[in-house]
Amino acid sequence: MLKFRQGYYADVRVEDRFDTHIVLRDGNLEECKASRVKRAFLRVYDGEMWYYASTSDTEDLQRELDGLYAAAQPSAGISDDPVVRAFEVNKDVCLHFADCSVADVPLEEKTALVRAAAESVRGDEVKMTMVRYIDRHSDYEFYSSKGAELKYDFQTCGVSVAFALAEGENNLTNAYQRADVRFDALRSIVRAEEIDSFVKENIFFMKNAKPVEAGEYPVILAPMVAGVFAHESFGHKSEADFMIGDETMKKEWALGSKVGSDILSIYDSGLDFGSGYVPYDDEGTKAGKTYLIQNGVLAGRLHSVETAVELGEQPTGNARAVSCDFEPIVRMTTTVIDAGDLTKEELFAGVKHGYFIKDLKHGSGMSTFTIAPTLCYEIVDGKLGDPVRIAVITGNVFETLSLVDGLSDEKEIFSFVTGGCGKMEQAPLNVGFGGPYVRISKMRVQ
Amino acid sequence: MEYEIIRRKETGDSVSVAASKVTSFRKNFNETTTVRAYENGCIGIAGAVGKANLSALKKEAAESLKKGIAYPCNLSGGVRHDPAPKEILPESGIVPAFRALLEELSQKADGYLFGNKINLSYETVSYENTAGASYTSHDASLEYALTIKDKKSANIMDMVYGKRAFSYNKDAVVSEVLEMIAAYENPVPMPAEKLPVVTDVGAVAPLFSHFVAEMYGSGASLLSGKMGQKVFGDRVSVLVDRNPPYTGRFFDAEGVVNPEGKFYLVKDGVFCGALTTKRSAQLFSLPVSGTAGSTYDGVPGATFTGLRFENTAEGYAAAGDAIFVVYASGGDMTTTGDLGIPVQMAFLLKDGKFVGRLPELMLSGNVFDILGKDFVDVIALADGDQRLVANFGVQKA
């Protein structure tokens, strides 16, 4: 039992984490490991500054905590500090994966899934395959000097099938990926015919893709790309930590401002199972669903307790850290564009000449955001045309948000076990994203 | 049975900066131990975080051999123990030092907000094996990753002051930040004449994965089948350099120590080496490059640690008049080597000095041209930093 001292706010987060990583390259087992690590992150706040420590010595957390107290200065009025007052005091046990933990699935079953997926990658053009199985089960505990006591868990598992294709001077690398929160569910969604079809499409693409003439064109983003677009174009700008102490930004980002086209709504939610599931954030705030843009209007932003107090708003459960090596900062969970009212066919019919971005390698966002696509196709008279090679598509964030002129009527939400979100020193953070097919009337294609 | 044992200790001190004030101090300590066992052409690995029981780890690694992960052993001996470097700042002096830095920056640039992180890290790694190798290396560095934001701007940040240093020099940091701000405050139009572009060598980073042996050997690399051929200009050399200041660790995760700490991937424009581990070197009949890395409990894999270009010039003045890329995020390369790089912030450079802020740009070019006919120089800067100078295609965004 930790002894918290008077005159300070303190909290302690403990993660007991199990991971599996299996790699099969060209049929040969390259990696096969399962590990369990327990770490803790401790915070002490004295009203002026935060003091943090990260440790693997979870048997003696009191010593670490006392060390932080020694560095800080006690404050008689700490309980009246607005940040301290705003911390939620939740007591809960929220364990969803105790009866289906990936830690209990034998390594042989996981390896068999990897081998089955690898056998689905065929073709003379396939020069290398690397199939990975990755899982994680984390049991968290959180305690604060205000009395919070939480136990909750997180779980993910997935298969990534990466391949390198080559024929003559042509080459292409890409990956198929499926993820879920339960191993039995994952096993049912990693389908041989789907992998085979994806590999064939990539082979066709490699052989036939033509360069594009750089310029501005209408584009349609597939749901996965739309999710990255939402995350990169607007999600990061909704993280309120960049507004601390900045009066210009507070005025520029006043709630109620028009920031996108009337049909555009984007939300972030930690409630849904998947790679962005966060029942409680890393300072004990209960997860919620936060609309960032609703019908084109700035509707909310993502907060830690500190940023919520600074801006006079409510914490949203978005204070997250990639691990117990780091302090929580404001991060997204699962960021999604709401569906619209057009069928996919109607959406494409509205493009005379443009490009369809089917998947991507990565995206990033500042005032200008960028997506580096993999599979792209020309759209001619509303129909899908030839494959094309595009290095990047870019656009000014606000201009592009106002140029969203069509959304399909069904959305998809994706989870992942590779990659993740990077912010400052912390990467990769597990997040989810998704959306419908999104049509943008003009973007720069290069 | 043969064994390798790797012990790693890392301490990190980090300050967070928000609205130009130090808001937190973080102390990290990480200790890991790795044991690798080799027998009958296989590898078995066990790792521990925190305090380790070596005999238990050896037993676990030996047990792990049953997984049947094929891996060559090829251990070699050698003894070298580098001395620990000087402390950059005492722990008690970190917060006061950076408070003083931020106070001075705030006074001299009161129209700007500074944010993000300054990190100090110290790492000691030791390696030993049953062939008699015994190595110890140390690394100590101070990393600035300060965002700079114009208080009048609606951007999340307008510039980043990023630098890795080996000693604390407040005056140098203040001077360099103020030079950036002075240029930022002087908007200038795009120059009418075509100028070379000075950019981080990371601009061509999408090429680096094409040096990895597995990619090269698969035939999917842009360099596949070109070993021994001229691929870049005569003055372009790419190497892995395990000497300070590029990296403090003279051995890789497999205990490989290269002659003079260097391994060339491209020498005078000729492609001559791939990034390998002992396994990929054996698989593709390539030399061992000494570039392996690994997690504490994982099988080694090739890394880019110490990867750099051979410098051909020194200091920004060597670039003459040029476009200087301050911040570029989100660029990539097509499968044919065509680069597209959005530049969020660029300055006009004249005689090695920043003179003004250019509009947002897009850079383009094929990587073989950028390192071939369009290559100008690789400029050496302090503390092992370097910049690529090349004639990119430049377009206003």
What are the pLDDT digits (tens) for B69-85? 999 999 999 999 999 99
3-state secondary structure of A121: coil
Q: Are residues B114 and B217 in the same domain?
A: no
Q: Are residues A65 and A110 in the same domain?
A: yes
What are B45's strand-pairing partners?
Answer: B36
In chain A, residues with a C-beta closer than 8 Å to the C-beta of B26 are 51-54, 326-327
Look at the alpha carbons of B114, B117, B122, B125 in this order and tell me if their dihedral is positive or negative: negative
Tens digits of residue pLDDT in B112-165:
999 999 999 999 999 999 999 999 999 999 999 999 999 999 888 899 999 999
In a 10 Å sphere around its CB, with 0-12 CB exposed, 13-18 middle and 19+ buried, how is residue A255 labelled?
Answer: exposed
Residue A1 lies in a domain: no
Strand B133-150 relative to strand B307-309: parallel, antiparallel, unpaired? unpaired
Q: Are residues B58 and B164 in the same domain?
A: yes
Range of the domain at B196: 187-397
Q: Are residues B123 and B211 in the same domain?
A: no
3-state secondary structure of B176: helix
**Count of residues in chain A:** 446
In chain B, residues with a C-beta closer than 8 Å to the C-beta of A214 are 364, 395
Mean pLDDT, range A18-41, rounded to an integer: 96
Q: Determine the residue among B9, B26, B64, B110 to mutate to test chain A binding: the one whose Cβ has the most chain A Cβ atoms within 10 Å.
A: B26
- Which residue shows structure tokens 């459960």? A317
Q: Are residues B175 and B197 in the same domain?
A: no
Of A178, A208, A238, the position where a domain reaches its end is: A208
CB A118 within 8 A of CB A24: yes
Q: Which chain B residue has its CA at the smallest distance from A240's CA?
A: B156
pLDDT (0 to 100) of residue A284: 98
CB pair distance less than 8 Å for B49 and A39:
yes
In A72-180, which ranges are E strands?
91-94, 126-144, 149-167, 170-180
From A29, A54, A247, residue closest to B28, measured CB to CB: A54
In chain B, residues with a C-beta closer than 8 Å to the C-beta of A363 are 330
Question: Which range (A222-231, A247-256, B282-291) has the least confidence?
Answer: A247-256
CA distance, residue B232 to nearest chain A CA (Å): 17
Find all residues with CB under 8 Å of A230, minimum gap 6, and list them: A266, A335, A336, A337, A433, A435
Side-chain-facing half-sphere of B328: CA atoms under 13 Å: 26
Tokens standing for A353? 């000449």
Q: Are residues A240 and A93 in the same domain?
A: no
CB A342 within 8 A of CB A377: no
**Per-residue confidence band for A169, with pLDDT thresholds at 50, 70 and 90:** confident
CA distance, residue A383 to nearest chain B CA (Å): 24
Q: Which chain A residue has its CA at the smallest distance from B344's CA?
A: A368
Look at the alpha carbons of B126, B127, B130, B134 in this order and tell me if their dihedral is positive or negative: negative
pLDDT (0 to 100) of residue B396: 85
Q: Which chain B residue has its CA at the smallest distance from A249's CA?
A: B154
CB A192 within 8 A of CB A118: no
- Name the residue among A103, A38, A1 with its Cα closest to residue A323: A38
CB pair distance less than 8 Å for B29 and A54:
yes
Find all residues with CB under 8 Å of A84, minimum gap 6, and list them: A9, A45, A47, A78, A146
CA distance, residue B362 to nearest chain A CA (Å): 9
Q: Are residues B74 and B132 in the same domain?
A: yes
Tokens standing for B334? 């097509």
Q: Are residues B102 and B236 in the same domain?
A: no
Helix (H) or strand (E) holding A203: helix A192-208
Q: Are residues A245 and A192 in the same domain?
A: no
**Per-residue confidence band for A270, with pLDDT thresholds at 50, 70 and 90:** very high
In chain B, residues with a C-beta closer than 8 Å to the C-beta of A372 are 330-332, 340
From B29, B31, B336, residue closest to A389, measured CB to CB: B336
Q: Is the pLDDT of residue A366 over 80?
A: no
Find all residues with CB under 8 Å of A207, minimum gap 6, and list them: A125, A167, A170
Of B184, B218, B237, the position where a domain reaches its end is: B184
Q: Are residues A169 and A228 in the same domain?
A: no
Tens digits of residue pLDDT in A192-218:
999 999 999 999 999 999 999 999 999
Q: Are residues B233 and B133 in the same domain?
A: no
Mean pLDDT, range A234-246, rounded to an integer: 90
CB A303 within 8 A of CB A333: no
Q: Are residues A117 and A253 in the same domain?
A: no
- C-alpha B290/C-alpha B276 separation (Å) is 7
Q: Which chain A residue has its CA at the smallest distance from B218's CA?
A: A127
What percentage of chain A carries pLDDT values higher than 90? 88
CB atoms within 10 A of CB A121: 21
Q: Are residues A253 and A339 in the same domain?
A: yes
pLDDT (0 to 100) of residue B333: 86
CB pair distance less than 8 Å for B151 and A246:
yes
Of A208, A226, A244, the position where a domain reaches its end is: A208
Q: Are residues B79 and B30 in the same domain?
A: yes
pLDDT (0 to 100) of residue B294: 97
Of A182, A208, A234, the position where a domain reaches its end is: A208
Q: Is the pLDDT of residue A318 over 90?
A: yes
Range of the domain at A103: 9-208
Distances (CA, A) of B59 to A89, A413, B35, B38, B142: 45, 44, 9, 12, 39
* CATH code for the domain in which residue A41 is found: 3.30.2290.10
Show the DSSP H helices in B117-275 as ranges: 170-184, 213-218
**Per-residue confidence band for B334, with pLDDT thresholds at 50, 70 and 90:** confident
Q: Is the ipTM of this complex over 0.90?
A: yes
In chain B, residues with a C-beta closer than 8 Å to the C-beta of A249 are 154
Q: Determine the residue among B27, B99, B343, B345 to mutate to test chain A binding: the one whose Cβ has the most chain A Cβ atoms within 10 Å.
A: B27
CB pair distance less than 8 Å for B47 and A35:
yes
- C-alpha A239/C-alpha B380 separation (Å) is 37
Residue A2 lies in a domain: no
Q: Is the pLDDT of residue A368 over 80?
A: no
**Per-residue confidence band for B397, with pLDDT thresholds at 50, 70 and 90:** confident
Look at the alpha carbons of A334, A335, A340, A344 in this order and tell me if their dihedral is positive or negative: negative
Residue A116 lies in a domain: yes
CB pair distance less than 8 Å for B298 and A21:
yes
- C-alpha A65/C-alpha A51 separation (Å) is 10
Residue A3 lies in a domain: no
Residue type, A367: S
Tokens standing for B133? 């190798």
Tens digits of residue pLDDT in A114-154:
999 999 999 999 999 999 999 999 999 999 999 999 999 99
Helix (H) or strand (E) holding A29: strand A28-45
CB B259 within 8 A of CB B288: no
CB atoms within 10 A of CB A109: 12
In chain A, residues with a C-beta closer than 8 Å to the C-beta of B63 are none
Tokens standing for A190? 């990693």
Q: Are residues A191 and A228 in the same domain?
A: no
In A66-148, which ranges are E strands?
91-94, 126-144
Q: Are residues B210 and B156 in the same domain?
A: no
pLDDT (0 to 100) of residue B330: 78
CA distance, residue B329 to nearest chain A CA (Å): 7
In chain B, residues with a C-beta closer than 8 Å to the C-beta of A244 are 18-19, 115
CA distance, residue A213 to nearest chain B CA (Å): 13
- C-alpha A280/C-alpha A286 separation (Å) is 4
Residue A4 lies in a domain: no
CB pair distance less than 8 Å for A248 and B154:
yes
- C-alpha B135/C-alpha B125 separation (Å) is 8
Helix (H) or strand (E) holding A311: helix A305-311
Q: What is the number of domains present in chain B?
A: 2
Mean pLDDT, range B196-202, rounded to an integer: 96
- C-alpha B342/C-alpha B367 separation (Å) is 16
Q: Is the pLDDT of residue B23 over 90?
A: yes
Residue A58 lies in a domain: yes
Q: Are residues B278 and B179 in the same domain?
A: no
pLDDT (0 to 100) of residue A233: 83
Side-chain-facing half-sphere of A224: CA atoms under 13 Å: 17
Q: Are residues A176 and A305 in the same domain?
A: no
Show the DSSP H helices in B38-112 as ranges: 54-64, 91-108
Q: Are residues A26 and A124 in the same domain?
A: yes
Residue A34 lies in a domain: yes
pLDDT (0 to 100) of residue A6: 97
- C-alpha A133/C-alpha A178 separation (Å) is 10
Of B164, B184, B204, the position where a domain reaches its end is: B184
Q: Are residues B210 and B172 in the same domain?
A: no
Q: Are residues A91 and A230 in the same domain?
A: no
Q: Mean pLDDT for chain A?
A: 95
Q: What is the largest CA-CA distance in chain B?
A: 69
Q: Is the pLDDT of residue A367 over 80?
A: no
Q: Are residues B324 and B391 in the same domain?
A: yes
- C-alpha B344/C-alpha B338 separation (Å) is 20
Q: What is the number of domains present in chain A?
A: 2
* CATH code for the domain in which residue B106 is found: 3.30.2290.10
Inter-chain contacts counted by CB atoms under 8 A, chains A and B: 191
Residue A302 lies in a domain: yes
What are A152's strand-pairing partners?
Answer: A94, A140
CB pair distance less than 8 Å for B30 and A56:
yes
CA distance, residue A38 to nearest chain B CA (Å): 9
pLDDT (0 to 100) of residue A249: 85
Task: Check residue B187 and report its DSSP letter.
Answer: B
pLDDT (0 to 100) of residue A40: 97
**Count of residues in chain B:** 397
In a 10 Å sphere around its CB, with 0-12 CB exposed, 13-18 middle and 19+ buried, how is residue B295 labelled?
Answer: middle
- C-alpha B238/C-alpha B222 separation (Å) is 15
Of B137, B154, B184, the position where a domain reaches its end is: B184
Q: Are residues A20 and A144 in the same domain?
A: yes
Q: Are residues A414 and A337 in the same domain?
A: yes
Strand A319-320 relative to strand A297-298: parallel, antiparallel, unpaired? unpaired
Instruction: Please give the angle made by the CA atoms of B379, B382 and B385, to the nearest 5 degrees.
Output: 60
- Name the residue among B350, B326, B16, B344 with its Cα closest to residue B181: B326
- C-alpha A431/C-alpha A275 separation (Å) is 5
